[in-house]
Amino acid sequence: SSSSGDEALRDKRARILSRGLPKQKPIEGVKQVVVVASGKGGVGKSTTAVNIALALAANDSTKEVGLLDADIYGPSIPKMMNLKGNPELTSKNLMRPLKNYGISCMSMGFLIEETAPVVWRGLMVMSAVEKLLRQVDWGQLDYLVIDMPPGTGDVQLSVSQNIPVAGAVIVSTPQDVALLDARKGAEMFRKVHVPVLGLVQNMSVFQCPKCKHETHIFGADGVRDLAKALGLDILGDIPLHVNIRETCDSGQPVVISQPQSDAAKAYLKIAMEIVRRLPVAPA
């Protein structure tokens, strides 16, 4: 039949394409990798990644969690996690992650001056990503959360093709411009066979601190509509709240500094939804 012929052709194409791809090699000591991505910058992806990593650890104290900042040009994890300094080297010449709030962190921001711009071409960026993935002594981690740079470029492809990724989380705000790029991000992960665990609708609603009136500044339910169109789940909604921004700017993310707040509870729920959708971790 024509449908079985089409399927055979698709399989053949996939085999031919996969010959040129690097063989995926797990990161030593890391059981599962979760990438947090966005098609567009400025949608709160790094803030979400930081609070998800902290929420994964808060939900289950038996789990070891790491956080890798793969945004080479704009590393923000050091500030958000209140970390400074250069990583020490082990006897095997591997970098030892810096640690705060029980989370092991690695970032380009630890290797350059805080105000120094990274003026590099693509190949140098790829080399840096490879070092951050392979030349770090993560110890034993249950989850490694990777904060991806925005977009669908070299870094996203390199990470997806070089290491086994258990799942991707796409962060978007509800307005149309962000949703266009979020869709591209989701489609990219599907093309490289990374399961998309679901979408996070960030800055979903603003509540006036004085009168409590709620305003959908970026539109209402845009991410929910996109999830429906793509056949994906919504992992949760994060409100547009000054506390989320202030706590991350001060290096005390809301999950740690205000664990009883609505914002922290939203991140804790998202972390729970992520774990529920992950495949069974290797023993």
Span 237-270, pLDDT tens digits: 888 777 888 888 889 999 999 999 988 999 999 9
Whole-model pTM: value is: 0.85
Residue 167 counted as domain residue: yes
Higher pLDDT: 44 or 147? It is 147
> What average pLDDT does this structure show over 147-166?
84
When pLDDT is cut at 50, 70 and 90, the band that residue 113 belongs to is: confident
Residue 37 counted as domain residue: yes
Alpha-carbon Rg for the chain, nearest whole angstrom, is 19
Residue 115 counted as domain residue: yes
DSSP the chain: -HHHHHHHHHHHHHHHHHHTSPPP-PPTTEEEEEEEE-SSTTSSHHHHHHHHHHHHHHH-TT--EEEEE--SSS--HHHHTT--SPPPB-TTSPBPPEEETTEEEEEGGGTS-TT------HHHHHHHHHHHHHSB---SEEEEEEEPPSSSSHHHHHHHHHS---EEEEEE-SSHHHHHHHHHHHHHHHHTT--EEEEEEES--EE-TTT--EE-TT-SSHHHHHHHHHT--EEEEE---HHHHHHHHTT--HHHH-TTSHHHHHHHHHHHHHHHHSPPPP-
Residue 181 counted as domain residue: yes
In the chain, how many domains are there? 1
Residue 78: the pLDDT is 92
Residue 3 counted as domain residue: no
The mean predicted confidence, pLDDT, of the chain is 83
> What average pLDDT does this structure show over 190-207?
81
Residue 7 counted as domain residue: no
Residue 22: the pLDDT is 59
Higher pLDDT: 203 or 246? It is 246
pLDDT exceeds 90 at position 207: no
pLDDT tens-digit series, residues 78-110: 999 999 988 999 999 999 999 999 999 999 888
The whole domain housing 201 covers 27-277
Residue 22 counted as domain residue: no
**Mean pLDDT lowest for which of 21-30, 89-98, 111-120, 154-163?**
111-120
Residue 20: the pLDDT is 54
pLDDT tens-digit series, residues 13-40: 666 655 555 578 999 999 999 999 886 6
Cβ count within 10 A of residue 163: 19
- What CATH number corresponds to the domain at position 53? 3.40.50.300
For the four alpha carbons of 116, 178, 237 and 243, in that order, the dihedral sign comes to positive
Residue 20 counted as domain residue: no
> What average pLDDT does this structure show over 200-206?
73
By the 10 Å C-beta count (0-12 exposed, 13-18 middle, 19+ buried), 1 is classed as exposed
- Angle 154-162/122-134 helices, nearest 10 degrees? 30
